């Protein structure tokens, strides 16, 4: 009996040691995780000089023995047409102004669909999360990166206004090979400033966001036409364009 009690105490002691080691490791990981996250408060009144995705694209190009010319031009939030802002919202994050950085409904739906299809078929990232990825992380797909993205997004929502987050996003978003921000994309693809874009040009620009390195706004591919019609349907649904504007633009994307 005494021997049995002794064995039980040894097992309990071993269990406690293992538990303490696990808790210590978890504590160290948590400390490292949060200490490794970037400071975002400076973005309140400073524009980032570069982004992680820009640097990633440069490195990828260098590995191929080439160089990448970066085209980016900052513009004020109010210079960007409201229709373009609304088009990008209905494309990427229609509830941007009502959530706190993470859209848990979209996240849940994304996880459900991805598990069902066995692959990443739906994103679920908000504009704030996309900005966190573009500024500080990379395009790598991993749960660890996703966790960091979500925490950084929450921090940005704490320190920055919604319009400031959206303004930075619109100025750094990747829209082509070496092309970042809506102003640079407007000048390169349409030879005009972003504030002079037509409805169809706005639709074309927003349509390439999910695949900026595979599709250009000047394309007439089936993918671009599909995205364009989807965005037009959403814009008329939310009242951002009229029925006549919808019909007219829809005809253009049939050609």
Range with top average pLDDT, 40-54, 100-114, 115-129: 40-54
Q: What tokens does 66 get?
A: 């080439």
Q: From CA 100, how far away is CA 156, in angstroms rounded?
A: 9
Contact present, 175 and 207 (Cβ < 8 Å): no
pLDDT at 235: 97
- What angle do the packed helices 243-252 and 199-207 form, to 10 degrees? 60
Query: Rounded to whole angstroms, how far apart are CA atoms 4 and 140?
Result: 53
* pLDDT 10s digits, 11-61: 666 666 665 656 656 665 555 455 567 888 999 999 999 999 999 999 999
pLDDT in tens, 212-246: 999 999 998 999 999 999 999 999 999 999 999 99
CATH code for the structural domain at 52-252: 1.10.3810.10
The pTM assigned to this predicted structure is: 0.85
């Amino acid at each position: 009996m005494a021997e049995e009690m002794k064995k039980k105490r040894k097992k309990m002691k071993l269990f406690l040691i293992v538990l303490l080691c696990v808790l210590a490791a978890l504590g160290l990981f948590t400390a490292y995780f949060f200490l490794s996250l970037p400071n975002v408060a400076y973005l309140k009144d400073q524009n980032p000089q570069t982004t992680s995705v820009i640097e990633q694209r440069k490195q990828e190009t260098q590995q191929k023995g080439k160089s990448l010319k970066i085209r980016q031009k900052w513009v004020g939030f109010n210079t960007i047409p409201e229709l373009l802002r609304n088009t990008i919202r209905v494309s990427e994050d229609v509830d941007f102004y009502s959530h706190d950085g993470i859209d848990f409904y979209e996240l849940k739906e994304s996880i459900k669909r991805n598990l069902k299809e066995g692959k990443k078929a739906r994103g679920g990232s908000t504009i704030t999360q996309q900005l966190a990825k573009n500024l500080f992380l990379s395009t790598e797909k991993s749960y660890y990166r996703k966790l960091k993205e979500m925490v950084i997004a929450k921090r940005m929502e704490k320190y920055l206004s919604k319009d400031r987050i959206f303004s930075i996003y619109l100025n750094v978003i990747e829209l082509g090979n070496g092309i970042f921000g809506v102003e640079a994309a407007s000048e390169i693809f349409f030879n005009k400033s972003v504030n002079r874009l037509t409805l169809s040009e706005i639709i074309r620009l927003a349509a390439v966001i999910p695949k900026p390195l595979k599709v250009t706004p000047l394309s007439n591919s089936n993918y671009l036409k599909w995205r364009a019609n989807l965005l037009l349907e959403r814009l008329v649904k939310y009242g951002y364009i009229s029925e006549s504007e919808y019909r007219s633009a829809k005809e253009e994307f049939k050609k």
